[in-house]
Chains A and B, each alone.
Chain A
Amino acid sequence: MAVTLTRPSSSSSIRKPASERLFDAINIVLMLALIVATLYPLLYVLFASISDPGELASYRGILLKPLGFSLRAYDAVFSNPSISVGYRNTLFYVVGGTALSMLLTILGAYALSRQNVLWKVPIMFMIVFTMFFSGGLIPTYLLVGKTLNWVDTPWAIIVPTAINTWNLLILKTAFEGVPVSLEEAARMDGANDFTILFRIILPLSLPALAVIVLFYAVGQWNAYFQALIYLRDRELFPLQLVLREILIANSMDSMTTGVSSGDIEPIGETIKYATIVVATLPILMLYPFLQRYFIKGVMIGAIKE
């Protein structure tokens, strides 16, 4: 991991003065507190989801381990048709959306990473300008919903957000890092731009491509707003929209009517937590393996600036 190469390991043989040791101690305590504050909410959700629904309903307070053990909530989650339909839809949007995004982003990044392209600067300007100014939510909504008439179609979910300009710039920077000599040699042999892109640039940019695939896939997995405004048909709902109903819309109902959430069927509480786990675990499981790629992506972005 590139991030870790900072100072050479500090004074090894000499004993540090007391103030230094105090600093280190405070620093470690702060970091431990941060770890607890970050992890505990997630662990609580995990423990609660596998707890016995009856016991959890009557329990208040900190969970340091599951209360009893029961997978009834997971049974209920997996047998819930809207969650399984949501899962299927999300997978479809993630795969289809990421594929489309990658296609467009790769083409754009390659074209804009080439030298000696007359219209490159104006086109770059046109693209970067959209990072700083937009027509706003309503004109976009009218375009997608009315003019294109994409309400209740998967297009509304995948196409309008297909290119993330930031990702495009990251990939462009990565492509620019491929030595020009390779390209020149290939051109000498009569290769055209498509051959150069697919035979030279892409194989040499795999880590950057992995980063961008992951950024798009995670973004699509977690997105809900496009679906909220363009989809009415429940058969098309992605998982996050179903989650929103279970986690937020319902809790608001019970809050405003004054019914405490514990009064509903006891399994209700555990279902909530199990749904969170089911929707979040796939990404969090993947994450430690991909972490170094993510960081690389942010670093390329940082260098870009």
Chain B
Amino acid sequence: MKTAQTLTRPRQTAARPGFWQVVVKDFRRNKYIYLMLLPVVAYYVIFHYVPMYGAQIAFRDYVPARGIWGSEWIGFENFQDFFRSFYFWRLLRNTFAINLLDVIFGFPAPIILALLLNELTSERFKRVVQTITYMPHFISLVVVVGMVIDFLARDGLVNYMLAWFGVSPIAFMQRPDLYWFIYVGSGIWQSIGWGSIIYLAAITTIDPTLYEAAKVDGAARLKQIWHITLPGIMPVIVLLLILRVGQMMNVGYEKAILLYNPLTYDTADVISTYVYRQGILSADFSYSAAVGLFNSLINFVLLIAANRVSKRLNQGGLW
């Protein structure tokens, strides 16, 4: 914010160039840089900041014929409608539950994989495991969800295998009580390998002499993992956890709208999918924009809070 300071201060000594002189000089020197930035800044303004400004329809009674700026202000009515609606608690519960399950099971999974990969003695085998587990990351959501639905069908592969243990066929995709686990489980299948890369990278930065010393002391492998490797990657874990907590009230609609169906709405419907159905399918723009804005705000607050907690614990933060 150096520029703001120089702006408010009246020009002092003759030796210090004035604000406008600095701006003009900078612009002359960097004219091509600013030319390059022009389309980039335009992109961010149009596709990110205009929608932020447009989010004000959450406070209006948007009528398409009148446009955003012609529609009437109604204050917090849309928000109140949402808070009072039958959906509010259901959406909040589902959004939070899916995230909580994902933090409990999905977040540690790649960390554990990275720790185990690091302990493999054969480099070649390690590379094979890596190559194979990264693959699902590149398969589209449509295909992944299509496969999940196919394998979990009543006459699908999973039911066939369950029959070995005497379990009678389960209609997985129609059972609201199983949806959360299917959602989180398929997510782990798709991202465990890819997610481990960042931890493996962090492990490479650990000083190898620490392991040598531990070996001399006769520390067992599990002890080495616990006392050397895990603390060594802790800053990365904390950082990713902060980012994850900042998304605690977010479940992407892209996967959910493929995976759910009216039979599982009770547990599957989350804030973002509700926004999608109300806004885009039912064209209730103001109301759904309010729900979406509410979601964005909660996430933003959570991110700031997580960052602050992390700083207080002296684990460093995002900023």
Q: Which A residues are closer than 8 A to B by beta carbons?
A: 1-11, 19-20, 23-24, 27-28, 30-31, 34-35, 37-39, 41-42, 44-45, 60-62, 104, 107-108, 110-112, 114, 116-119, 122-123, 126-127, 130, 132-143, 146, 159-160, 162-163, 192-194, 197, 218, 221-225, 229, 240, 243-244, 246-248, 251-252, 255-256, 260-262, 272, 276, 279-280, 283-284, 287-288, 291, 294-295, 298-299, 301-302, 305
Contact = CB atoms under 8 A, between A and B. Distances in A.
A261 B296 contact: no
A187 B40 CA distance: 24
20 contacts: A1-B127, A2-B204, A3-B201, A7-B208, A19-B220, A31-B125, A35-B128, A42-B135, A135-B54, A138-B280, A139-B55, A142-B68, A163-B40, A218-B138, A224-B140, A225-B253, A251-B146, A260-B155, A301-B198, A302-B201
Contact of A192 (B32, B37, B68): B32
Interface centre among A28, A159, A247, A288 (most CB of B within 10 A): A247
Contact of A31 (B120, B134, B161, B303): B120
B9 interface: no
Given A111-B33, A193-B36, A261-B155, A229 B280 contact: yes
Nearest to B33: A111
A255 B173 contact: yes
Contacts of A44: 151, 157
B143 A140 contact: no
Contact of B272 (A4, A111, A118, A137): A137
A3 B36 contact: no
Given A61-B160, A251-B150, A38 B142 contact: no
B202 to A, nearest CB: 7
Contacts of A41: 147, 151
B48 A135 contact: yes
B25 to A, nearest CB: 9
Contacts of B149: 247-248, 251
Interface centre among B138, B285, B303 (most CB of A within 10 A): B138
Contacts of A3: 130, 197, 200-201, 204
Interface centre among A126, A132, A197, A295 (most CB of B within 10 A): A132
Given A31-B116, A243-B142, A244-B142, A118 B30 contact: yes
Contacts of A240: 140, 142
B288 A138 contact: yes
A27 B135 CA distance: 21
Contacts of B263: 256
Contacts of A163: 40, 43-44
Nearest to B47: A160
B51 A136 contact: yes
Given A240-B142, A251-B150, A279-B143, A299 B201 contact: yes
Given A127-B44, A137-B292, A256-B261, A39 B132 contact: yes
Nearest to A37: B189
Interface of B: 3, 22-23, 26-27, 29-30, 32-34, 36-37, 39-41, 43-44, 46-55, 57, 64, 68, 113, 116-121, 123, 125-136, 138-143, 145-147, 149-151, 153-155, 157, 160-161, 173-174, 189, 192-194, 197-198, 200-204, 206, 208, 211-212, 215, 220-222, 236, 239, 246, 253-254, 258, 261-263, 272, 275-276, 279-280, 285, 288-289, 292-293, 295-296, 299-300, 303
Contacts of A136: 51, 55, 275, 289, 292-293, 295-296
Contact of B202 (A134, A272, A302): A302
B48 A130 contact: yes
Contact of B142 (A117, A118, A248, A284): A248
Given A272-B146, A284-B138, 10 more contacts: A60-B155, A62-B161, A117-B26, A118-B26, A119-B3, A135-B48, A135-B54, A137-B279, A139-B52, A244-B146
Contact of B296 (A34, A116, A135): A135
Contacts of A111: 33-34, 36-37, 40
B54 A139 contact: yes
Nearest to A286: B138
A251 B146 CA distance: 9
Contacts of B51: 134-136, 139-140, 143
